[in-house]
Amino acid sequence: MSSLFPALTDGRTDRPALRFGDRCLTYAELAAAADALAHRLAGQARVAVWATPALETAVAVVAALRAGVAAVPLNPKSGEKELGHILADSAPALLLAAPGDELPSAVRDLPRVDVDVRATGSAPEAPEASDDDPALVVYTSGTTGPPKGAVIPRRAVATTLDALADAWQWTGDDVLVHGLPLFHVHGLVLGILGPLRRGGSVRHLGRFSTEGVTRELDAGATMLFGVPTMYHRIAETLPGDPALAKALSRARLLVSGSAALPVHDHERITSATGQRVIERYGMTETLMNTSVRADGEPRPGTVGVPLPGVELRLVEEDGTPITAYDGETVGEIQVRGPNLFTGYLNRPDATATAFTADGWFRTGDMAVRDLDGYVRIVGRKATDLIKSGGYKIGAGEIENALLEHPGVREAAVTGEPDPDLGERIVAWIVPADPASPPTVKELADHVASRLAPHKRPRVVHHLAALPRNDMGKIMKRALTRD
């Protein structure tokens, strides 16, 4: 396979590559630092990376890829038990970290290499890497057991980033700004490796802030990546911040991912800036599957169409493919293509279960598909598919409807057993005014008027905040009645 990062050696090495706060590297400096480190990694199977939002993380991952070694990004916020499991499972030879990083006891027995971002070195004589060689081992969130290590091959990284370049008209002239964590596919693969593959540059905020977004877009950034909680903060800030609105209006592309962006936030951002936020859909195991195209119709509430090279289908519970794409029939998404992982590390049983006999990956995500191919996610099969009164209902569309109510700040929807309906719809609400929350009848009538009567919530709980993970996803398994 050709180099994942042609810009490191194509002669345009004085171009800016990475910037984290006041620290930056050109392509020449990145190549020198990564290659110096790659010499120390050559011959290893896997190395762990203490994935803080810093230059060192980017240099460490690029060095591993240049050496033909798989990188295992570690979430610095993980607990000791989870870190211990990941290290025992992946058995990395070394741990790469920034000088001065204080590491927890779970990783202290691993030989440590401090990453020097100012080191110089030439490219190592690594064996020619093949398409199917592992690039990354990224651990899933482990909601149903210990995290599983998804082995992501080099071809998946290359084909996903090239497909996104096609969909988003992404070039080396683009400057990306984001504040995403770097232990996950969104922040690391799309947010760091993506710009480097294109020969463009990335400015990482370290920690997301609307002030940082304004500053970087005003200074020439062309693209913004974020998760829904970030775009919600933007939507909330826009009415009182004309500088933010003006900065966003100049961006070439605003992209949201990792969870569904509520339609209400789409509309507020568009109203204030004239810009449409586009959404895409992916998973750790598949990288990216679909996206709204930069030259396509921006349809809020959808994740666009399959990316080049990706096959996507919806299936019934028994695995029968759904052929009627009518925007209403709910099915599980299955995908096939070069963007897929090769399997779960040390888990042949889980790998076999994840795929059909003919090679389709079972995502566990439920969706509907329009006639023109646009996909709308309605939730996870395990937590968001509610079977009520003979209907299959996706929690996502009810959540969007609830968020259109002026008395609702945040919303999540689940199902609970009901002797008559099978399951009844339960809404978990963060009221806009805690002293005067909307009533069950008010919310039920509101949803029924927008969707259908059978989709109205029967029970409403009021909360101070919804439980979310580091990527802003609502942790529905944590929603329980006191």
Ramachandran bin of 359, using left for φ above 0, alpha for ψ from -120 to 50, beta for the remaining angles: left
Band the pLDDT of 168: cuts 50, 70, 90.
very high
Per residue in 99-134, pLDDT (tens digit) is 999 999 999 889 999 999 999 977 766 667 788 999
Q: If you ran DSSP here, which 8-state letter would residue 74 be given?
A: E
Per residue in 202-214, pLDDT (tens digit) is 999 999 999 999 9
What pLDDT score does 1 carry? 39
Please enumerate in sequence order all residues whose Cβ is within 8 A of that of 353, keeping only pairs 6 or more positions apart, or say none. 362
Mean pLDDT of 17-44: 95
270, amino acid identity: T
Per residue in 402-456, pLDDT (tens digit) is 988 999 998 999 888 887 777 889 999 999 999 999 999 999 999 888 887 888 9
Tokens of 391: 């209907």
Per residue in 336-347, pLDDT (tens digit) is 999 999 999 999
User: What distance in Å separates the CA atoms of residue 340 and residue 288, rounded to the nearest whole number?
Assistant: 9
170, amino acid identity: W
User: What distance in Å separates the CA atoms of residue 19 and residue 216, rounded to the nearest whole number?
Assistant: 11
Domain with CATH 3.30.300.30 in the chain: 385-478
Q: Answer yes or no: is pLDDT of 383 > 50.
A: yes
User: What distance in Å separates the CA atoms of residue 285 and residue 152, rounded to the nearest whole number?
Assistant: 7
β-pair type (149-153, 134-139): antiparallel
Q: Which fold has domain 385-478?
A: GMP Synthetase; Chain A, domain 3 (3.30.300)
Helices and strands (DSSP H and E) totals, the chain: 12, 25
User: What distance in Å separates the CA atoms of residue 376 and residue 367, rounded to the nearest whole number?
Assistant: 5
Q: Is 6-185 a CATH 3.40.50.12780 domain?
A: yes
User: What distance in Å separates the CA atoms of residue 30 and residue 195, rounded to the nearest whole number?
Assistant: 13
User: What distance in Å separates the CA atoms of residue 431 and residue 17, rounded to the nearest whole number?
Assistant: 43
Domain with CATH 3.40.50.12780 in the chain: 6-185
pTM (two decimals):
0.85
Q: Which of 142, 74, 162, 171 is nearest to 339 (CA)?
A: 162
User: What distance in Å separates the CA atoms of residue 177 and residue 369, rounded to the nearest whole number?
Assistant: 31
The dihedral sign for the CA sequence 448, 451, 454, 457: negative
